[in-house]
């Protein structure tokens, strides 16, 4: 977990809001659930103070107790706030212009999505010209385990969170290609982490494939995904790989437009 002492000297922090922000930042920036002892050491604040802040954040839904009872992870309200923030940034940023470039390059539907409570929410989307496409609007929600952006973003989560998502989700087999066995999904997530991209092989809709790359923040962590959807006849896995350099470039430009990349 990053040491938050470099953010501000603990002696200069006075308000409850300051302390809550520091605790939230530490929990959110950690790749795994963190303990009260770890937060105390990282922030240099009294254990009782941090415990009091955590209780308030728990009540507000900003953090959750991890399966290991003495550890904490980000909660549903903080996730919702993050999604609302990206939606707000999206209205001010030239994301549609960047997506339109990708649509013109590929002729296919392109979108940006974020992970919220086990589902992918599309925050921007531009339809291609193909008559065979998935008709979804901005704000639509799709499952994480059978979509390119969903698999991409869940693959980057800590193993405990991935397990919780898999165990609490109704894994429905949409097509013969849909992966619903936890061991299969974990193997897929491992491949995605190694490759740096995700491919949806007709797992949500028969005849449609998708290819996704991450949109990263300054800590090199995925906060959203950029995807192209196309009929399987026009975009095989190999054909999708030819788009990788261009999509990575556009994902970086989107991050910069949101001011989450250096």
Bridge partners of residue 34, in order along the sequence: 72
Torsion angle defined by CA atoms of residues 30, 33, 36 and 37, in that order, rounded to the nearest 10 degrees: -70
| Alpha carbon distance 50, 53 (integer Å) | 5
Going by C-beta distance under 8 Å and a sequence separation of 6 or more, which residues neighbour residue 7?
A: 22, 25
| Alpha carbon distance 229, 138 (integer Å) | 15
Q: DSSP for 99-123?
A: HHHHHHHHSSEEEEEEEETTEEEEE
- Phi, psi dihedrals of residue 185, rounded to the nearest 5°: -65, -40
pTM over cut 0.85 = no
What pLDDT tens digit does each residue of the chain (262 aa) get?
444 444 444 444 468 888 888 888 888 777 678 888 888 888 888 888 998 898 888 888 788 787 666 788 777 667 666 666 666 666 555 788 899 999 999 999 999 998 887 889 888 888 887 665 566 767 788 999 999 999 999 999 878 778 888 988 889 999 999 999 999 999 999 999 999 999 999 999 999 999 999 999 887 888 899 999 999 999 999 999 999 999 999 999 999 888 765 5
Give the chain's domains with CATH numbers.
4-74 (1.10.10.10), 78-257 (3.30.450.40)
| Structure tokens given for 46 | 């009294």
Q: Is the dihedral of CA 206, 209, 160, 222 positive or negative?
A: negative
**Residue among 105, 106, 123 at smallest CA distance from 114:** 123
């Amino acid at each position: 977990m990053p040491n938050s002492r470099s953010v501000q000297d603990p002696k200069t922090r006075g308000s409850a809001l300051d302390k809550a922000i520091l605790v939230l930042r530490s929990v959110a920036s950690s790749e795994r659930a963190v303990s009260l002892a770890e937060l105390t050491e990282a922030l240099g604040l009294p254990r009782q103070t941090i415990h009091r802040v955590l209780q308030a954040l728990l009540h507000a839904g900003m953090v959750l107790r991890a399966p290991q009872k003495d550890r904490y992870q980000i909660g549903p309200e903080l996730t919702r706030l993050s999604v609302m923030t990206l939606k707000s940034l999206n209205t001010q940023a030239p994301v549609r212009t960047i997506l339109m470039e990708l649509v013109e390059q590929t002729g296919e539907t392109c979108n940006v999505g974020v992970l919220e409570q086990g589902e992918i929410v599309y925050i921007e989307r531009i339809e291609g010209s193909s008559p065979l496409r998935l008709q979804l609007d901005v704000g639509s929600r799709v499952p994480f385990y059978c979509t390119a952006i969903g698999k991409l973003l869940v693959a980057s989560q800590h193993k405990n969170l991935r397990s919780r998502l898999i165990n609490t989700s109704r894994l429905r087999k949409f097509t013969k290609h849909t992966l619903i066995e936890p061991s299969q999904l974990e193997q897929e997530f491992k491949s995605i982490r190694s490759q740096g991209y995700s491919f949806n092989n007709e797992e949500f809709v028969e005849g449609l494939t998708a290819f996704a790359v991450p949109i990263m923040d300054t800590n090199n962590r995925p906060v959203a995904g950029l995807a192209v959807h196309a009929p399987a006849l026009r975009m095989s896995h190999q054909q999708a790989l030819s788009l990788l350099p261009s999509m990575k470039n556009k994902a970086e430009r989107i991050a910069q437009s949101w001011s989450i990349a250096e």
